[in-house]
Structure 1
């Protein structure tokens, strides 16, 4: 992932304030911007204008931004298409996860499937051999497919002799219901418990031991200060915490800041490109983008910390959090890339007791 220098942050902020007042033609500031970040700058200006109610003025910035996009980062083009479908407004078009199908399509994109399989393998490599059947907690279980994949692989590799209980936690009633059906079908002899809510709503109610707690692309749905609180509540009840997350700078930067826009441009630009590159009906692809990924993008770019829905953190921030809250009883067992390129990575982190 690329970052701005402190001077560039100040300059982009000043340019954004000037453009919001004077509405110059797109391209006016291009010579002042690092050449490989011109498209990202246009994305920043376009989202800043749209968030402040100037959606029509943002179109020109997106159109010119697309002319500078390269390396599979086409976030200006993606946002331009989104605006065309939503009357030039940076608004959330749906309640995220109300319908499981957009997420299921996202999880089935080839690069995501490969990354999820790498996560499954990495969990197996870093977890110890358990001598007794385990209790397993999935925080943000989605449709339950990853729960099944992880536990099946742990069984096949003789890491676990059986499963006593699987606790599924998800805030979406539709997701939780689908996950329960999927997991119950795969493990009919295990006790299946379902908590339909966020981990923030139930972390204080956990009252039994779980050998493994897993969270895949879910623990980022709260800011750093809340992550710390709820992880500390989980700590007495778990032996291993395994995390699958996107390495991105979407937590601590404040609303309308250049570093937040640049992080979104790179991380979501790459993810959305994965979805559009997968051969599927246009309606299905757009539904996945609009009802899932763009919901998150709009929230990050238009709502302040504490209100927005997503707070992806950088790898180093995750390590600081996990070592601070779980240490010294827990130590790092795995830090591996499930997918990585210059702009975005998906990572597996595992902290466990000795």
Structure 2
């Protein structure tokens, strides 16, 4: 992922204020921006303008930004299409995960399928062999597909001989119901428990030990200060924590900050490219983008910390959090990329109880 210097952060924020007040033509600032970041700067200005109600002006910045995008980063083009579908307004078109189908399509695109396959493989390499029946917790279980894939692989690889209980935690009733059906079909002899809510709502009531707790693209739905609190509440009840996450700087930067926009441009731009590159019906792709990814993007770029829905952190920040809250009782067992390039990374972290 690319980052801005402190001077660039200051300059971009100053330029945004001037552009909003004086309606400056996009080309006037290109020479002041690091060449490879010009499209990202146009994206930042466009989102800043759209969030402040200047939709038509935002579209002009996206149109010029689109002309200089390359290398699979087309976030200006994707956002331009979104604004044109929504009357030039940067507003959330849906409630994320209310309908499971957009997420299920997202999880099934080739890049995500391969990243999840790598995650499962990495977990089997770092988790120990369990000599007793395993109790498993999935925090943000989604449709249950990854839970099923991981546990089946752990059984096949010899890490696990028997799964005795699976706790599925998800705030979406539709997701939780689908996950229960999927997991129960794969493990008919296991006790399946459903916690329909966020981990923030139930971390204080968990009072049973779980051998493995997993969170896949879910624990980022709260800011750092809340992650710390709820992780501390989970610590006595888990022996291994495995995390599958997006490496992005979307937690601590404030609303309208250049660093937040640059991070979103790279991370969401690359992921949306995965979705658009996958051969699927246009209406399915558009629904996945608008009802899932763009809904999250709009939240990140229009709502302040404490209100927005997503708080992806940098990999280094996750390691610092786990070391602070779980250590010294837990130690790092795995820190591996499952999908990575210059702008975006999906990774696996595993912290296990020492001893």
Measured in 2, the distance between the counterparts of 1:96 and 1:7 equals 36
Structure 1 vs Structure 2 CA RMSD: 0.4
Q: Deviations over 1:145-167 (max 9, x none)?
A: 00000000000011011011000
* Matched ranges for 1:41-190 at <5 A: 41-190=41-190
1:27 is the counterpart of 2:27: yes
Report the number of matched residues: 354
Measured in 2, the distance between the counterparts of 1:286 and 1:162 equals 41
1:210 is the counterpart of 2:210: yes
Secondary structure of the structure 2 residue equivalent to 1:113: helix
Residue of structure 1 in register with 2:228 after alignment: 228
Measured in 2, the distance between the counterparts of 1:113 and 1:321 equals 27
Shift of 1:314: 0.3
Measured in 2, the distance between the counterparts of 1:118 and 1:316 equals 20
Q: Deviations over 1:192-221 (max 9, x none)?
A: 000000000000010100000000000000
Measured in 1, the distance between the counterparts of 2:225 and 2:338 equals 26
Shift of 1:27: 1.2
1:315 is the counterpart of 2:303: no
Measured in 1, the distance between the counterparts of 2:136 and 2:285 equals 33
What's the TM-score, normalizing by structure 1? 1.00
Measured in 1, the distance between the counterparts of 2:38 and 2:158 equals 51
Q: Deviations over 1:148-195 (max 9, x none)?
A: 000000000110110110000000000000000000000000000000
Measured in 2, the distance between the counterparts of 1:197 and 1:85 equals 32
Gapped regions of structure 1 (runs ≥ 5): none
Measured in 2, the distance between the counterparts of 1:191 and 1:164 equals 6
Q: Deviations over 1:228-282 (max 9, x none)?
A: 0000000000000000000000000000000000000000000000000000011
Residue of structure 1 in register with 2:194 after alignment: 194
Measured in 1, the distance between the counterparts of 2:160 and 2:274 equals 34
Measured in 2, the distance between the counterparts of 1:258 and 1:109 equals 30
Q: Deviations over 1:11-65 (max 9, x none)?
A: 0010001001001111110000000000000000000000001111101000000
Measured in 2, the distance between the counterparts of 1:48 and 1:339 equals 30
Secondary structure of the structure 2 residue equivalent to 1:227: helix
Residue of structure 1 in register with 2:341 after alignment: 341
Residue of structure 2 in register with 1:7 after alignment: 7
Residue of structure 2 in register with 1:251 after alignment: 251
Measured in 1, the distance between the counterparts of 2:7 and 2:71 equals 25
Secondary structure of the structure 2 residue equivalent to 1:287: helix
Secondary structure of the structure 2 residue equivalent to 1:166: strand
Measured in 2, the distance between the counterparts of 1:148 and 1:231 equals 24
Measured in 1, the distance between the counterparts of 2:290 and 2:194 equals 28
Secondary structure of the structure 2 residue equivalent to 1:19: helix
Shift of 1:319: 0.4
Residue of structure 2 in register with 1:39 after alignment: 39
Secondary structure of the structure 2 residue equivalent to 1:204: coil
Measured in 2, the distance between the counterparts of 1:158 and 1:58 equals 55
Residue of structure 1 in register with 2:260 after alignment: 260
1:328 is the counterpart of 2:297: no
Secondary structure of the structure 2 residue equivalent to 1:125: helix
